[in-house]
Structure 1
Amino acid sequence: MESVIMALTIDPRTAHAPQVQTVLTKHGCIIKTRIGLHEVHSDHCSEKGLIILHICAELDKIKDLERELLDVKGVSVKYMTL
């Protein structure tokens, strides 16, 4: 079993966040921690979102998650194994 930190960006966030949420929910059993960040101003929210995931799973399941996230337009993914 691998322990992985995965970071993904979503741009534009408001357009693609629902699709990303669907993928993350599907793979929810391998996601140990999820942190979502975006910049907030008094007059608007940033369109670029950042999600950081701590994943515990076999490499094939991590690759499946990555592949599905990359199928969503506007999403980029990077990760490192700990």
Structure 2
Amino acid sequence: MDRHLILGVHVTERLKHAQAIQEVLTNFGDTIKTRIGLHDVNGEISSPNGVLLLECIDKQDRFSSLKQDLSNIEGVEIKEIVFDH
């Protein structure tokens, strides 16, 4: 079965948590196919919050571990989208 596994990752105080998040993303580099980072920029000031969209390969155990590790970081909220084909 071909599935698209997407994680929406909302980050508050992103500068405070960026290092911990990057460490998790690096550890799961073999699981993440596409990574898109979004945050508001108003002139010279960036928003303290942001959103990551992660498209992952279809390995449920790695996907679950990635979700768990990100969820363990303070200021991170996860939403999951799975498209089954």
TM range (shorter): over 0.9
Task: Pick the structure with more helix per residue.
Answer: 1
2:38 aligned with 1:27: no
Alignment of 1:1-82 (within 5 A): 2-82=3-83
- The CA distance in 2 between the partners of 1:55 and 1:12, in whole Å, is 24
| Unpaired segments ≥5 residues, structure 1 | none
Q: TM-score, normalised by structure 1?
A: 0.93
How many aligned residue pairs are there? 82
Matches of 1:9 and 1:64 in 2, distance apart? 17
Kindly, what percent of the aligned residue pairs are identical?
A: 33
- Residue 3 of structure 1: CA displacement? 2.5
Check whether the contact 1:12–1:48 (CA below 8 A) recurs between aligned residues: yes
RMSD: 1.2
Q: Which runs of 5+ in 2 are unaligned?
A: none
Alpha-carbon distance in 1 for matches of 2:56, 2:27: 13
* TM-score using structure 2 length: 0.90
| Amino acid in structure 1 at the alignment position of 2:78 | V
1-structure distance, mates of 2:73, 2:81: 21
Which consecutive aligned stretches of 4+ in structure 1 deviate over 6 angstroms post-superposition? none
C-alpha separation between the residues in 1 aligned to 2:32 and 2:44?
33
